[in-house]
């Protein structure tokens, strides 16, 4: 599949996610005469069990998924990278402590831990971001630590140490630029995971609350009418599949391009 296809899908997702609050949408407007109306009879994407426009709610739901993915990946990558980089470079007690914390988090399935945290914190988009961030930083910390451990004995790092350069400056200017490529790939795949996780939490009622739109809550509402109005599940489900597939395809392409071991960084096409 050519790269422009997933890029187009992602750009459309980002645009709708950012522009939805300013678009003339009515995701909560009820039209009793169009309850469970199918796309074939309306010419759009149909209406749900309350007579709300599915297209408007789909676009409004893209805002929820985009904002959650943006904040969760951004916070998780920042926190995890900093903790993993400094622990891997300093070593000793802090490195052993980080390894034990990572092992503790990995002992629990991530989505179950996120569900437990979201249940304790209560429903809401802010709590979803916090719960997924608490779960998500571990992968970035483990990756950053492993990369730093393989780079801290490089000549330019040893030279900076010999010159008395502070540790924070060494990590920032001599190590982080070298480990950015695998972290970018990890963050790309992380977007897909967060989109699915947010939809799952909203499906369980732990995400955004009615009448706000979320792809997960739209699928949950549609399961009760799956036989008479399958579009209520298919519309948000297909949207989520397209976004996740596009993110994964883009992540695979970035991994091939940035992985110098396969010659991707220096290849022409």
| Residue 40: CATH number of its domain | 1.10.3720.10
Q: Dihedral through CA 38, CA 41, CA 46, CA 52, nearest 10?
A: -110
Burial degree of 124 (CB within 10 A; 0-12, 13-18, 19+) = middle
Instruction: Determine the Cα–Cα distance for residues 196 and 241; give it in Å rounded to an integer.
Output: 9
Give yes or no for residue 268 having a pLDDT over 70. no
Q: Report which of residues 69 and 172 the model is more confident about.
A: 69
Report the C-alpha gap between 254 and 175 in whole angstroms: 20
Q: Evaluate whether residue 31 is within a structural domain.
A: no
Kindly state whether residue 113 falls inside one of the protein's structural domains.
yes
What average pLDDT is seen over the chain? Answer: 88
- Residue 24, in any domain of the structure: no
Specify the pTM: 0.88
Residues paired with 53 in a beta bridge? 47
- Cβ atoms of residues 87 and 93 within 8 Å: no
Q: What percent of the chain has pLDDT over 90?
A: 49
- The total of structural domains in the chain comes to 1
Q: How many CA atoms lie within 13 A of 142 on its CB side?
A: 14
Angstrom distance (rounded) from CA 98 to CA 145: 9
Q: Is residue 27 part of a domain?
A: no
Domain that holds residue 134: 4-19+36-261
Check residue 259 and give its pLDDT.
67
Q: What is the mean pLDDT of residues 3-11?
A: 88
Distance CA 67, CA 215 (A): 13
Find which of 148-157, 187-196, 203-212 is predicted with most confidence, using mean pLDDT.
Answer: 187-196
Q: Does residue 221 have a pLDDT over 60? A: yes
**Is residue 126 domain-resident?**
yes
């Amino acid at each position: 599949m050519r790269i422009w296809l997933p890029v187009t899908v992602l750009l459309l997702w980002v645009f709708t996610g950012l522009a939805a609050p300013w678009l003339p949408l009515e995701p909560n407007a009820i039209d009793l005469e169009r309850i469970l109306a199918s796309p074939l009879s309306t010419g759009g994407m149909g209406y749900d069990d309350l007579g709300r426009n599915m297209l408007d709610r789909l676009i409004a739901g893209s805002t929820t998924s985009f904002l959650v993915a943006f904040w969760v990946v951004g916070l998780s990558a920042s926190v995890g990278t900093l903790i993993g980089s400094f622990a891997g470079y300093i070593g000793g007690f802090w490195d052993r402590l980080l390894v034990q914390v990572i092992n503790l988090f990995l002992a629990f399935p991530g989505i179950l831990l996120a569900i437990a945290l979201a249940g304790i914190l209560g429903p809401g988009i802010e709590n979803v971001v916090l719960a997924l961030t608490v779960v998500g930083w571990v992968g970035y910390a483990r990756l950053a630590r492993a990369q730093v451990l393989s780079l801290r004995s490089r000549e330019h790092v040893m030279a900076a140490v010999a010159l008395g350069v502070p540790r924070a400056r060494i990590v920032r200017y001599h190590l982080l630029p070298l480990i950015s490529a695998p972290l970018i790939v990890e963050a790309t795949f992380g977007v897909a995971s967060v989109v699915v996780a947010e939809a799952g939490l909203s499906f369980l009622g732990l995400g955004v609350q009615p009448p706000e739109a979320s792809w997960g809550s739209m699928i949950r509402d549609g399961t009760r009418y799956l036989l008479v109005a399958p579009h209520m599940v298919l519309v948000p489900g297909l949207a989520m599949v397209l976004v996740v597939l596009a993110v994964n395809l883009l992540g695979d392409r970035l991994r091939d391009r940035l992985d110098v071991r396969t010659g991707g960084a220096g290849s022409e096409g």
